[in-house]
Amino acid sequence: METVIEVKDLTRKFGYLVAVDHVEFEVYQGEIFGFLGPNGAGKTTTIRMLTGMIDPTEGTATIQGHDIRNEPLLSRAHIAVVPEEANVYLDLSVWQNLMLMAELHGVARHRRIQEAERLLDALGLAERKKQKARALSKGLRQRLMLCAALVTGPEVLFLDEPTGGLDVQSARLIRQTVSDLNRSGLTVFLTTHNMSEASEMCSRVAIIDKGRIAAIDTPEKLRSTISSRQYIEVRFARAIPEYNELESLPGVSQIDADNRTFRLYTRLPGQVVTEVVRLADSRGLEIADLGNHKPSLEDVFLHLTSGRKERGLQ
Amino acid sequence: MTVQRETAQTLRRQLHGSLVILKKNVRLYYLKPPVLIFGVLFPVFFFLAFKMGRPIAAENIVPGMVAMALWFTASAVGPLVTPWERGAKTYERLISTPLSLRAILVGDVMSGLVFGTCLSVVPVLLGLALTDTSIVSVPILTAGIVLGALNFASLGVLLAAPPASSPANIMLLSNLVRIPLLFVSGIFMPIGQMPVWMQWIAPLSPLSYASALIRSAFGQSAFFQVWLSLLMLVLFTLAFFMMSCKFHNMWKAKGL
């Protein structure tokens, strides 16, 4: 696989604070790479370094083979950025915003007009092209940001929390558009707090915590690394068994109880289901609901970043 | 040859980018209230405060009026653009494009240059129409206005470098610099007639040289010779622009 972004030892300090601490990873051609982390973990600082907004203190990165420190203009020629906050020019029209970004990227007149028309149509903004950006809702502004990024013809698209706080329709349209573009070869670097979004869209994810990479892999493999967090959830209809009866079932490592619902954590879900059903039969208990829950990406995220929170509370 | 071609292509792209920035600034900032107040109304009020009730022949104050209009207008755009864009978060979009920071700043300087040059033509025309004054050298007047505008626009861009997200803070800073220099640069009276201590300070102000060129162009005696004024304006412009690049780059991250 061809490497599009190669990050080596990337570090950024703000005074004594090390915001990004010797980070290393690679992003391959045509993948959607998720970059996850709690607030203040270093996600935005990493994106800002990769997109030329701030300079690294140590280390470097290449984008399409161009070093961000030695060849910043060439590395930025391949990218477009959609930041978390839709920072469109409010006093320019939708069309003027697109033309400005395209012109700054040196897109030829004929091509920028053609692309802008196509993108406005695809993202449902065609009828608003003459409207000032100030008049657009948050969702529409974010769609405009995506249009303004895509009209420059990027090879790598940086999305920083692109659907945060958006209405369902706009969020879905943005996700759909990005997925469609990715299928046609666009490489995407995505930061998000939305774990289901990351799980659904990303080929691989990196989890950053306290400025350091805690894990990088496919969502499936990351989930499998915490198989001990897999659990059987059982809800009893009326009478419930004793807590220690469930705890002593073979294969159960931990129990959480909430009223009539029990979570039995296990690496052996099949065996525990059998044992729960057997226990219910023998005690004449009625099971209202029974399910097997595999760890989500959110569980992985919390598992890898929980130490930070605990220390923060102390 | 290939390297030369690549360099020429890069320069062309960067210059094109600067012109795009100029176009954006014209559309967005020329009619913003701070530009109009500090760039257009200020010199008019200063002129009225200076002229009213004093027995000064109108033609004698035309060069000073032109220089003052040039000073305020050309240096008004720069201090507005960067803080405004920082506040609106559009600044980070600009610096993530394939444009160098230098090209962005060139665009901002050009915005001040065009604004200052165009608006300083107004007092020239008013002076010619309403007073007995006349221009004795169009080339010197053109050089004075264009070089002066370029210099003052560069100063404006330099003043915008501190990482303030509110234009009001930078406007305050720019007025702390611009207004005192107005009084030591031969605007209201020729430098030769000012107190000695002011005559010592006058060479440190770029406005003194622009003012001298404009006075010469209108046939009045100037404190500095034409060649010296031209040279000093070029040197001041280079110094301001180099400092702008350095400080804007240094405070780039803090302004995000």
pLDDT band of B247, cuts 50, 70, 90:
very high
pLDDT at B188: 81
pLDDT at B1: 58
Assess A53–B contact: CB distance below 8 Å, yes or no: yes
Assess A99–B contact: CB distance below 8 Å, yes or no: no
- CATH number of A227-294, picked from 2.60.40, 1.20.1740, 3.30.1360, 3.30.70: 3.30.70
- A69 chain-B contacts, CB cut-off 8 A: none
Q: How far is B157 from chain A, CA to nearest CA, in Å?
A: 19
Collapsing DSSP states into helix, strand and coil, what is residue B211? helix
Question: CB A81 to CB B93 under 8 A?
Answer: yes
Assess B5–A contact: CB distance below 8 Å, yes or no: no
Question: CB A53 to CB B252 under 8 A?
Answer: yes
Assess A150–B contact: CB distance below 8 Å, yes or no: no
Tell me how many degrees the CA angle B141-B144-B149 measures, rounded to the nearest 5: 125
Question: CB B90 to CB A105 under 8 A?
Answer: no
Assess A96–B contact: CB distance below 8 Å, yes or no: yes
Question: CB A85 to CB B89 under 8 A?
Answer: yes
In this predicted model, what pLDDT tens digit does every residue of B197-237 receive, in sequence order?
988 999 999 999 999 999 999 988 888 999 999 999 999 99
In this predicted model, what pLDDT tens digit does every residue of B173-205 receive, in sequence order?
888 998 889 888 888 888 888 888 988 999 999
> Between A52, A85, A104, which is nearest B17 by CB?
A104
| Mean pLDDT score, B83-101 | 91
Q: Where are the domains of chain A?
A: 3-224, 227-294
Assess A66–B contact: CB distance below 8 Å, yes or no: no
> Between A51, A87, A105, which is nearest B90 by CB?
A87
> Between B20, B88, B256, which is nearest A48 by CB?
B256
Beta-carbon count within 10 A of A24 CB: 14
In chain B, whose CA is at the least distance from the CA of A103?
A: B20
pLDDT at A312: 39
Assess B13–A contact: CB distance below 8 Å, yes or no: yes
Q: How far apart, in whole angstroms, are the C-alpha atoms of residue A178 and residue A168?
A: 15
> Between A54, A103, A104, which is nearest B252 by CB?
A54
Assess B26–A contact: CB distance below 8 Å, yes or no: no
Residue A80: its H or E element: strand A79-82
Name which of A43-47, B55-59, B161-165 the model is least confident about: B55-59
Assess B6–A contact: CB distance below 8 Å, yes or no: no
> Between A48, A92, A106, which is nearest B13 by CB?
A106
Q: A204 - beta bridge partners?
A: A33
First to last CA, chain A: 44
Assess A89–B contact: CB distance below 8 Å, yes or no: yes
Spatial CB neighbours of A9, under 8 Å, sequence gap ≥ 6: A22, A23, A24, A58, A59, A60
* Predicted TM-score of the model (pTM): 0.85
pLDDT at B182: 86
Q: Above pLDDT 70, what percent of chain B?
A: 97
- A79 chain-B contacts, CB cut-off 8 A: 96
Q: Among A100, A105, A138, which would you mutate to test the B interface (most chain B Cβ atoms within 10 Å of its Cβ)?
A: A100
Q: How far apart, in whole angstroms, are the C-alpha atoms of residue A258 and residue A18?
A: 41
- How is residue B104 written in tokens? 């962005």
Cα distances (angstroms) measured from residue A239 to each of A233, A264, A284, B228, B245: 16, 18, 9, 100, 75
Alpha carbon dihedral B17, B22, B25, B27, in 10-degree steps, equals -100
Assess A76–B contact: CB distance below 8 Å, yes or no: yes
Q: What are phi and psi of A79, to 5 degrees?
A: -120, 165
pLDDT at A229: 74
Q: A257 - beta bridge partners?
A: A262
Fold of A3-224: Rossmann fold (3.40.50)
pLDDT at A307: 55
Q: Where are the domains of chain B?
A: 18-250
Q: What is the pLDDT along chain A (314 residues), one digit of tens a residue?
A: 799 999 999 999 998 899 999 999 999 999 999 998 888 889 999 999 999 999 999 999 999 999 999 999 999 999 999 988 778 999 999 999 999 999 999 999 999 999 999 999 999 999 999 999 999 998 899 899 999 999 999 999 999 988 877 888 888 888 888 899 999 899 999 998 888 888 888 999 999 988 999 889 888 888 777 777 788 899 988 888 888 888 888 888 888 888 889 999 888 888 999 999 999 999 888 999 998 887 777 777 777 776 544 443 33
Q: Above pLDDT 90, what percent of chain B?
A: 47
- B97 chain-A contacts, CB cut-off 8 A: 76, 101, 104-105
